[in-house]
Structure 1
Amino acid sequence: MNSTPAASTVITVKPNSGFMLSHPAHMIAQGFGSGLSKIMPGTFGTLFGWLSFSVLTLRWPEVFSPLNWWIIIVAGFFVGVWACDKTGRDLGVADHGSMVWDEVIAIWLVMLFITPADLWTQFYAFLIFRFFDMVKPPPINYFDRRFKGGMGVMFDDIVAAFFTLLVFAIWRTI
């Protein structure tokens, strides 16, 4: 007799505030709750990232300097690999939609490169990043398929951020 449960009996955990608060990795991966939105959690995670970058930079510019943002983003990427890997395993879905730390880190990277920028420029950066993150045109879709686990969750959004910045670089030279 086969002792493994049938695919239909595998229970996946529902992402909610209780799950998020049950482990620090879940809180990070789910963007401190921004990923728990019932609609478009990736967009809400990106909004949280944009808002947190703006508020922290404006409120404490001596702490959230460009150099310190670099350190935060690099460290946040590696923490995100761990947090998204753990959270994905605990949810039973490797790249669950409620995991939005990848969007947070990627939009921080975009904002770091385009700042100082007015609100409209930041909004366009938000829209362009969301386009690349949702549509995943080549080669973003290649990295999305190629890398698995926490690295897979995090890396394709860094590539989407790169393409967002490429659009801005072209836009600014026109």
Structure 2
Amino acid sequence: MSVQIGRQAPHFEAPAYDRTKNGTDAQFTSVKLSDLQGKWVCLFFYPLDFTFVCPTEIVAFNKAIGDFTDRNCVVLTASTDSVYSHKGWCDSHAELKDLKYLMLSDLTRKLSAAYGVLDDDKGIAYRGIFLIDPQGTLRWLAIHDLGVGRNVTEVIRVLDALQTDKLCPCNWKPGDKTLN
């Protein structure tokens, strides 16, 4: 399956590690995309737990979680690691102990494949990021090489632009005029 802007995002149900209620009350759960209808979803994939670029992104999204929440947007992250690996990584990495969004496990690689980010040779996900609107329609995506982290500020800018439901010119930012 290939993903396309303007089409329904691939449905998923995935096991998840939930540390949002305070690290000591962390739990294992499950997430369905359909349960998030009515909210924007920012789903970002990363290659593996216990790596170098990945925690910089996860921490950056965590620091900006209020910006996403203010925009009615749920942040989810996913890798091909298990929920137990996610837990071990969060327990051992000081900056991940206060994570405010769920970490999805894609051991089967089906989620990564459905979103077109699976590196078949390595069995890991590229750094794909997807913005899904409240009706489940894919509105924006970007896929980065394994060694290049994402810019959270740019993701929020794109989310703002999409939420205007208007034409936004190059380098548009909130407060700028849109096009008629």
TM-score by length of 1: 0.27
Greater strand fraction, Structure 1 or Structure 2: 2
Larger Rg: 1
TM-score, with length taken from structure 2: 0.27
